[in-house]
A and B are shown apart, each in its own frame.
Chain A
Amino acid sequence: MSRLGPVITLAAGAVLAAGLGVASVNVTPAANTAAGGGTVTEAPAAPEESTPPAESTEPAERNTASPERTEADDKIGKADYGGYVKGNGGLIAISIRSGKAVGYFCDGRAEAWFKGSQSGDSVSLTGVRNGKVTAALGGGKATGQLALGGRKWSFVAAAVRKPSGLYRATALVRGAQYRAGWIRLKNPDGSYTSVGAAVEGDNPVPVPKLNADEPTAPLTVDGTTIYPKDVDGFIQEMS
């Protein structure tokens, strides 16, 4: 035992990783059939070797990789929407990744983050703090309603593509949790409308401007560097 124990430990880790690999290949949401004007993401390439290799041999998993056989045809792989909320001067952005949806409303002072899911041609999101967003997808836009603080507004958000869309940054600034959000929309004349807000702890603080050419370029807040991320960069930490 004492001779083989360490090797067994390594092998157990490799087997566990291989098991996770097999399971992941089988459930990978294939669903990159973007509807509603979203851009289609590349299908995730079948992993050449889906386990961290320890020195033991692992089963080849390539043959089991047939992403198409999940139920996920219903799910939109990637879509981004942004537009004005009627009657309150704010902007709203909704992004969908593999059926998972995040949303952000911001008028420069009030702001709210939402998360939820897409199914068929509708999305439903609930506020991280409060509120609700529902929208129907179709014709290259999201048409729906925003409920926040006991009031309701409607909006039409067109499909947008980078660098328009939703950005978010989280960081630790002076020991407090810092969170900023931005929505960028391209105007018909080619310029951009941008709105954002930031909080430190629970208190609103001035929000830095996104870099006009490269929205994900690092910014400085009180001597701390923050890294704005696009939806692909932050959807993991939101959900």
Chain B
Amino acid sequence: MTAIHRPPARGLTPLLVPLLLGGLVVLALGVYGRAHTPTGHAVGVAGFSAALPMKAWLTTGALVLAVVQVVSALSMWGKLGIAIPPAVHRWSGRLAFLLTIPVAFHCLYALGLQYDVPRVLAHSLLGCFFYGVFTAKMLALPKRDTPGWTLPVLGGLAFTALVGLWLTSAFWFFTAVGVKV
């Protein structure tokens, strides 16, 4: 870090690289989702009857962990009055992120980015956005000189995107198709 040369004021400059790389991730996922011919098939997590139930349950797992994320974050910022160890926040976040990977992989590899139905359009865009904002948050995390609102805003956006992703996928699947494993 070149903190010596930088004024102590918390400007937006340190956020530039994380936001830029996050934006590139959004763009790369979207372009890949359109340019790559969907295969209709992808390797996923075993133990489910088909790809969609697998994705619905993994996304639901990630959503539950994301709620843990919000609660533990509130605790770390002293908003709850109880102390939750930071490790809870770190590991629930890591696990939630890893749970989403097989889901997103199936989406992009087997189905691609689609927009023929409003639900699918919203889901496709939110999916690309989620990984962008998550990347930005991860890259902003170790920086000590970012504005104070950086982590709450990026984390909040990631959480909001995940809720939207769950509503447009797992919730749709459980209600329109059925609750099955």
Partner-B contacts on A (CB < 8 A): 2-7, 9-10, 12-13, 16-17, 20-21, 23-24, 27-29, 42, 44-45, 47-55, 97-98, 170-172, 177-178, 227, 232, 236-239
Residue of A nearest to B44 (CB): A20
Q: Are A52 and B131 in contact (CB under 8 A)?
A: yes
- CB of B62 within 8 Å of the partner chain: no
A232 to B110 alpha-carbon distance, docked (Å): 12
Dominant SS among interface residues on chain A: mixed
Q: Are B25 and A55 in contact (CB under 8 A)?
A: yes
Q: Are A52 and B21 in contact (CB under 8 A)?
A: no
A-B contact pairs, 17 of them (CB 8 A): A2-B142, A6-B139, A9-B138, A10-B139, A16-B98, A49-B32, A50-B36, A51-B105, A53-B29, A55-B24, A55-B135, A98-B40, A171-B176, A177-B177, A227-B117, A237-B52, A237-B177
- CB of B167 within 8 Å of the partner chain: no
Chain B hits for A236, CB < 8 A: 40, 50-52, 111
Q: Which of A12, A24, A171, A177 has the most CB of B within 10 A?
A: A24
A52 to B24 alpha-carbon distance, docked (Å): 12
Q: Which of B37, B137, B176 has the most CB of A within 10 A?
A: B176
Q: Are B177 and A44 in contact (CB under 8 A)?
A: no
Chain A hits for B94, CB < 8 A: 9, 12
Shortest distance in angstroms between B17's beta carbon and chain A's nearest beta carbon?
Answer: 10
Given contacts A28-B41, A53-B28, whether A6 and B138 have CB atoms under 8 Å apart is yes
Given contacts A24-B105, A237-B50, 16 further A-B contacts (CB under 8 A): A2-B142, A6-B141, A9-B138, A10-B139, A20-B42, A21-B105, A21-B109, A24-B41, A42-B37, A45-B36, A51-B105, A52-B29, A55-B21, A98-B40, A178-B176, A237-B177
Given contacts A6-B139, A20-B43, A28-B41, whether A12 and B176 have CB atoms under 8 Å apart is no
Q: Are B109 and A50 in contact (CB under 8 A)?
A: yes
Chain A hits for B36, CB < 8 A: 45, 47-50
Chain A hits for B108, CB < 8 A: 52
A55 to B139 alpha-carbon distance, docked (Å): 11
Partner-A contacts on B (CB < 8 A): 21, 24-25, 28-29, 32, 35-44, 49-52, 90, 93-94, 97-98, 101-102, 104-105, 108-111, 117, 131, 135, 137-139, 141-142, 172-173, 175-178
Q: Which of B38, B105, B135 contacts A54 (CB 8 A)?
A: B135
Chain A hits for B29, CB < 8 A: 52-53
A2 to B21 alpha-carbon distance, docked (Å): 20
Q: Which of A6, A23, A29 contacts B142 (CB 8 A)?
A: A6
Given contacts A24-B43, A28-B39, A52-B108, whether A12 and B32 have CB atoms under 8 Å apart is no
Q: Are A27 and B43 in contact (CB under 8 A)?
A: yes
A27 to B172 alpha-carbon distance, docked (Å): 29
A44 to B40 alpha-carbon distance, docked (Å): 9
Q: Which of A2, A5, A9, A24 contacts B97 (CB 8 A)?
A: A9
Shortest distance in angstroms between B178's beta carbon and chain A's nearest beta carbon?
Answer: 6
Chain B hits for A238, CB < 8 A: 50
A27 to B36 alpha-carbon distance, docked (Å): 18
Q: Are A177 and B176 in contact (CB under 8 A)?
A: yes
Residue of B nearest to A173 (CB): B176
Residue of A nearest to B117 (CB): A227
Q: Are B105 and A52 in contact (CB under 8 A)?
A: yes
Q: Which of A45, A52, A178, A239 contacts B104 (CB 8 A)?
A: A52
Q: Are A24 and B138 in contact (CB under 8 A)?
A: no
A4 to B143 alpha-carbon distance, docked (Å): 11
Q: Which 6 A-B pairs have the closest CB atoms?
A: A6-B138, A23-B43, A44-B39, A45-B37, A6-B141, A24-B43
Shortest distance in angstroms between B179's beta carbon and chain A's nearest beta carbon?
Answer: 10
Shortest distance in angstroms between B151's beta carbon and chain A's nearest beta carbon?
Answer: 11
Chain B hits for A172, CB < 8 A: 172, 175-176
Q: Which of A2, A5, A17, A232 contacts B40 (CB 8 A)?
A: A232
Residue of B nearest to A3 (CB): B142
